């Protein structure tokens, strides 16, 4: 087993130029959620050129893909490597999805080349629109993962962590409707929609001091009127509610709705709230698989960092309720260096010498973990038992 793991890592090193080329191409050609047509075509071509059959558009999602080793009978258990490749508006790959895809592709090609006839246990799923679009949710709902047993990917970060919690999220649009009038000549004839959303925003802001530690509430006003001398008859905002559990996430959302209802009552306006689906769930962690990741990190000389408690949201949370799924983190920047995720600096960090090294480490870590899962009946049993306990 150890000999095979060394062969896998050696193969990743041999593929380094190809892996870096994927990272660079995606960085230079950023596409946002559900617009990743060039990326889907390019990555599908890379996989096809390395011995994979690739299905484009699985689950009815045009910018997704599903790759399996060509000529290999599909067998169970099946491990799915996940590739993200959507970029952020205006920032590009400020979340590092270019090296997420590069690492997963490097891992699955290396595994396929080393495993040979046993490569039928592998799949790679191109999962678009992680940034706000919930691509993994739609793929899971469409049954794309139905014949798979475990899914994994890595995420670049400022810390080395085998696994950590994330937050469930509801993204929603809030609209207020009033009545326009001259703001000076006939103010008594108007109903101010901007007052409505500002009152709702102020009420939501007051909730923040009463949130549990895992609660988050934030948003922006996207439309506040047309001119100062016209009482706005329409105002709108975009908001997120996040929490560490589905129950608390939904509870906070109900409290936000009451803030909006009270604001509408106070200002004589009406309010409409529209949820942007899919809603994101917190990740269901899998401790045996995280332990396998930690062992792979140790073998690569990577020292885990202490979890600093920072939390975001991702559609892998939803996927983790369908099958055991993990997302370890590797640092491409130093903690406290002032280069946060979702920034231009973080995008540039993906292709620095350190970013290159971490991309290869990630490919090895993913491939070693996937191999350990396929080889160890005990690990598979423990991972399933851990998953079933959370069901």
The backbone torsions φ and ψ at residue 169, rounded to the nearest 5 degrees and listed phi first, read -145, 140
Residue with tokens 């930690």: 294
- Per-residue pLDDT of 320-338, as tens digits, reads 999 999 999 999 999 999 9
**CB–CB of 362/99 below 8 Å?**
yes
Query: What is the location of CATH 3.40.630.10 in the chain?
Result: 2-166+283-389
Query: What is the location of CATH 3.30.70.360 in the chain?
Result: 168-280
What are the tokens at 166? 């994330």
Q: Which of 299, 316, 303, 318 is nearest to 371 (CA)?
A: 299
pLDDT at 391: 59
Q: Is the dihedral of CA 241, 307, 163, 33 positive or negative?
A: positive
Measured in residues, the chain has a length of: 391
Residue with tokens 């129950």: 247
Spatial distance between the Cα atoms of 277 and 266, rounded to a whole number of angstroms: 29
The backbone torsions φ and ψ at residue 217, rounded to the nearest 5 degrees and listed phi first, read -150, 115
Full pLDDT tens readout for the chain, 391 residues: 689 999 999 999 999 999 999 999 999 999 999 999 999 999 999 999 999 999 999 999 999 999 999 999 999 999 999 999 999 999 999 999 999 999 999 999 999 999 999 999 999 999 999 998 999 999 999 999 999 999 999 999 999 999 999 999 999 999 999 999 999 999 999 999 999 999 999 999 999 999 999 999 999 999 999 999 999 999 999 999 999 999 999 999 999 999 999 999 999 999 999 999 999 999 999 999 999 999 999 999 999 999 988 899 999 999 999 999 999 999 999 999 999 999 999 999 999 999 999 999 999 999 999 999 999 999 999 999 999 997 5
What are the tokens at 252? 């906070």
Spatial distance between the Cα atoms of 27 and 275, rounded to a whole number of angstroms: 31
pLDDT at 196: 98
Q: Which of 273, 173, 272 is nearest to 222 (CA)?
A: 173
Task: Give how far the C-alpha of residue 307 lies from the chain's centroid of Cα atoms, to the nearest Å.
Answer: 19
Spatial distance between the Cα atoms of 253 and 235, rounded to a whole number of angstroms: 20
Q: Which of 59, 35, 314, 306 is nearest to 160 (CA)?
A: 306
CA 118 vs CA 70, 122, 139, 293: distances in Å: 12, 9, 26, 22
Q: What architecture is domain 168-280?
A: 2-Layer Sandwich (3.30)
Q: What architecture is domain 2-166+283-389?
A: 3-Layer(aba) Sandwich (3.40)
**CB–CB of 299/368 below 8 Å?**
yes
pLDDT at 51: 97
- Per-residue pLDDT of 180-239, as tens digits, reads 999 999 999 999 999 999 999 999 999 999 999 999 999 999 999 999 999 999 999 999
pLDDT at 1: 64
């Amino acid at each position: 087993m150890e000999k095979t793991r060394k062969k896998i890592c050696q193969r990743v090193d041999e593929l380094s130029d190809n892996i870096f080329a994927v990272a660079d191409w995606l960085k230079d050609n950023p596409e946002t959620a559900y617009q990743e047509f060039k990326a889907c075509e390019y990555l599908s071509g890379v996989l096809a050129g390395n011995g994979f059959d690739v299905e484009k558009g699985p689950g009815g999602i045009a910018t997704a893909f599903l790759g399996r080793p060509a000529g290999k009978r599909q067998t169970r258990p099946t491990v799915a490597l996940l590739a993200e490749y959507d970029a952020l508006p205006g920032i590009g790959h400020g979340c590092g999805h270019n090296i997420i895809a590069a690492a997963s592709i490097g891992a699955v090609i290396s595994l396929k080349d080393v495993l040979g006839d046993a490569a039928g246990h592998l799949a790679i799923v191109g999962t678009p629109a992680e940034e706000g679009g919930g691509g993994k949710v739609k793929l899971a709902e469409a049954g794309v993962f139905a014949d798979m047993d475990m899914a994994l990917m890595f995420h670049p970060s400022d810390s080395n962590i085998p696994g950590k919690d994330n937050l469930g999220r509801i993204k929603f649009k809030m609209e207020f409707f009033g009545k326009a009038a001259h703001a000076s000549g006939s103010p008594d004839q108007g109903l101010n929609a901007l007052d409505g959303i500002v009152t709702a925003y102020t009420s939501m802001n007051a909730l923040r001091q009463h949130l549990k530690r895992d609660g988050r509430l934030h948003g922006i006003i996207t439309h506040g009127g047309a001119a100062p001398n016209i009482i706005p008859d329409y105002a709108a905002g975009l908001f997120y509610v996040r929490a560490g559990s589905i129950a608390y996430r939904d509870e906070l959302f109900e409290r936000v709705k009451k803030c909006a209802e009270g604001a509408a009552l106070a200002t004589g306006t009406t309010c409409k709230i529209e949820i942007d689906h899919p809603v994101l769930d917190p990740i269901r962690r899998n401790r045996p698989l995280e332990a396998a990741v930690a062992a792979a990190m140790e073998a690569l000389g990577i020292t885990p960092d202490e979890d600093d408690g920072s939390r975001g949201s991702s559609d892998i949370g939803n996927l983790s309720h369908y099958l055991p799924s993990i997302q370890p983190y590797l640092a491409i920047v130093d903690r406290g260096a002032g280069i946060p995720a979702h920034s231009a600096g973080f995008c540039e960090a993906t292709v620095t010498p350190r970013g290159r090294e971490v991309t290869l480490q990630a490919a090895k870590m993913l491939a070693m973990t996937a191999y350990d899962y396929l080889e160890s009946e005990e690990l598979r049993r423990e991972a399933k038992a851990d998953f079933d306990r959370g069901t």
